[in-house]
Copies of this chain bind each other. A is one copy, B any other.
Amino acid sequence: MATISDVAARAGVSTATVSRALNGKSTVDPELAARVLLAAEELGYHPNGLARNLRRQETAVLALIISDVENPFFTAIARGVEDLAQVSGYSVVLCNSDENEDKERRYIDVALQERVAGVVLSPTGRSTNVEHLRRQGTPVVAVDRPLNGPDGDQVLVDTRRAARDAARHLADGGYRRIGCLSGPAGVRTADDRLDGFRDAVGEDTTLFRRTEYRAEGARLAALDLLDLPEPPDALLVANSTMTIGVLQALTGRHLRPGRDVGIVSFDDAPWATLIDPPLTVVAQPAYDIGRVAAQLLLARIADGTRAPTTTTLEARLIERQSSRR
């Protein structure tokens, strides 16, 4: 692989000049610059980013560590981050922590070691530790879930309120035994959604289950609820992946969404309008979350002294047929 000195030799100049010419820095004699460009071309020269970054102590890549690549909510965030980063000349690499604290730690380490310019992170758990990053001066912004511990930028959704509104919507629709399926304890969105649900139906309810944010767990939990002596007549489900499991459970019991069991699900999945009846959902502004997060990150990379902010976006209830009898 050709190096900068190969180019310098071929162009008959110093490596400094090559560097300047290639980076469009300061003033380089046009004729020399042309010679350099030609030499680089002929040699098939590609700058070594490692060396450059080592020297410059900075990289034009952002890391985005998300907790589930297979969840459309997170991929929409990814798109938002990417679209914004792109126009500022940053590349973004995605890391899938898979709701697994070990993997998350590994990727935080990779981000640290590769000295990325900044990281956007949806923290997996309570114990997510970004101190290493912070201490090194790598800005990090949390999305979807707050980072406990010292401050930093975050962009969240008022998910407790959204859950409360969704549960009330079900109650207004005439459902009387409303249940809830939420994610794992300790995951903030899951806790919040459950709290919001309780705000609406009363603290004393036992009509809820908590599982992983996955289809299979939700299917089992739904079945469990449905087998109760007094089963729920409506369900608030904490994400669209879980809803897949819930819908399977309903089908297995020959229960129809809406008429038999009212359903409201978080996240407006692409297939939400395809099922029968169409699914009432709490739509989260995932793409915007990503954009805002990227914006904050870039701002903080430019100026590390900005005061930490937390942005809270609103979710929006989209009423369709699954919450009507």
Footprint of B on A, CB under 8 Å? Answer: 1, 44, 46-54, 61, 63, 69-70, 72, 75-76, 78-79, 82, 86, 91-96, 98, 103, 106-107, 109-110, 112-115, 132, 135-137, 215, 241, 244, 247-248, 251, 269-271, 273-276
Contacts and interface: CB of A to CB of B under 8 A. Distances in A.
A200 to B, nearest CB: 27
A242 to B, nearest CB: 11
Count of chain copies: 2
Contacts of A48: 54, 113, 115
Given A274-B271, A275-B271, A275-B274, A106 B91 contact: yes
A248 B61 CA distance: 38
Given A1-B136, A70-B76, A115 B275 contact: no
Contacts of A241: 270
Contacts of A98: 82
A136 B75 contact: no
A114 B46 CA distance: 11
Contacts of A1: 135-137
Given A54-B54, A79-B70, A46 B132 contact: yes
B79 A114 contact: no
Contacts of A273: 248
Contacts of A51: 54
A50 B114 contact: yes
A136 B114 CA distance: 20
Given A135-B44, A244-B271, A275-B271, A96 B78 contact: yes
Nearest to A44: B135
A110 B53 CA distance: 12
A244 B270 contact: yes
Contact of A54 (B50, B79, B82, B103): B50
A91 B95 contact: yes
Contacts of A112: 46, 49
Contacts of A61: 110, 114
A110 B116 CA distance: 12
Contacts of A136: 1, 46
Given A50-B114, A53-B50, A61-B110, A95 B94 contact: yes
22 contacts: A1-B135, A1-B137, A46-B109, A46-B113, A49-B110, A49-B112, A49-B114, A49-B115, A52-B113, A54-B54, A61-B110, A61-B114, A69-B79, A69-B94, A70-B79, A79-B96, A86-B103, A91-B107, A93-B93, A247-B274, A271-B275, A276-B276
